[in-house]
Amino acid sequence: MKRETKKKLIIWGTIITLFLIYYCVMAVLAVNHTVNKFDAEYFVSLEQNEDDTINLCAIPGYVDMIRQKAFLSSQLKMAESDSIGLLINVRDSVIQLLIKGLPVRTVGIDEYDVSPFFHRANQEAIYSMLSAPMTITGMQATFRKDPVNVKIAPKDTTEAVTDAKPDTTDFEAVFFTLDTDKDIRFYFEQHEDTIGADRRARFFFDLRDRTRNTAATMKDIVRLRVPPYIPYIKIWIPKAEAKIIYRAIPREGMIVLTQ
């Protein structure tokens, strides 16, 4: 290898390494910036006395009390709606579809991952936000939400039996995201891979999400500004249940979260 070519490779390798380090630092700063902004906005909304320096969250049992209060308050508000709502109880690893406050389907969470935002932010501020349901503002999935099956009426009962075909939609990969008005993003992924195409779908689903996030943050990073950060909760549940949940919830449905 020529000395000049080797020198160029070293320079470019150094530039790329420094940029990756810079990108990681900005990503960490983005989380801290979002947490600090979230906490500041909450405390500004409170009426506090200058002498009030008590950290209520340090009192044993206080966080559990406000968590339960926020959970019940959010459920009551969602029960006032006539549409199907989604309840996500991370602590108990349970998801429920609710109508007027009554569960119509319960699904166990196999695995989950919670954004560090929920642990770093002030817990009073977190449960103040969670005391009301979130509204879904956007959906993206690897399959259709409203499938359309076109069938031609058979001429007689014999033809009806002959034309009966199995439902091939069970082989669709099930991955989807839900964006909310509280700037919290939910990821739902099938826990198992039933066919080889599922692994490919998982890869491209993750790739599209990373590409979307990178495109949204790169402009700020290049301009030496802290990029935006969207807190998330990733949930893995059985494939069939994930498909049912996605197709059951309204496009502007509500989500009750406790964690």
Task: Name the stretches of the chain with pLDDT < 50.
Answer: 160-169
pLDDT of amino acid 163: 47
Domain assignment of residue 126, yes or no = yes
pLDDT of amino acid 157: 53
Domain assignment of residue 87, yes or no = no
Q: Residue 187 contacts by C-beta under 8 Å, 6 or more apart in sequence?
A: 175, 176, 177, 209, 232, 233, 234, 235
Phi and psi at residue 177, in whole multiples of 5°? -125, 150
Domain assignment of residue 128, yes or no = yes
Domain assignment of residue 80, yes or no = no
Name the domain count of the chain.
1
CA distances to 55, 106, 117, 136 from 62, in Å: 10, 29, 20, 30
Domain assignment of residue 76, yes or no = no
pLDDT of amino acid 162: 45
Q: Distance between CA 232 and CA 114 in Å, rounded? A: 6
The residue range of the domain holding 245 is: 3-59+107-253
pTM summary value = 0.81
Domain assignment of residue 166, yes or no = yes
Domain assignment of residue 102, yes or no = no
Domain assignment of residue 79, yes or no = no
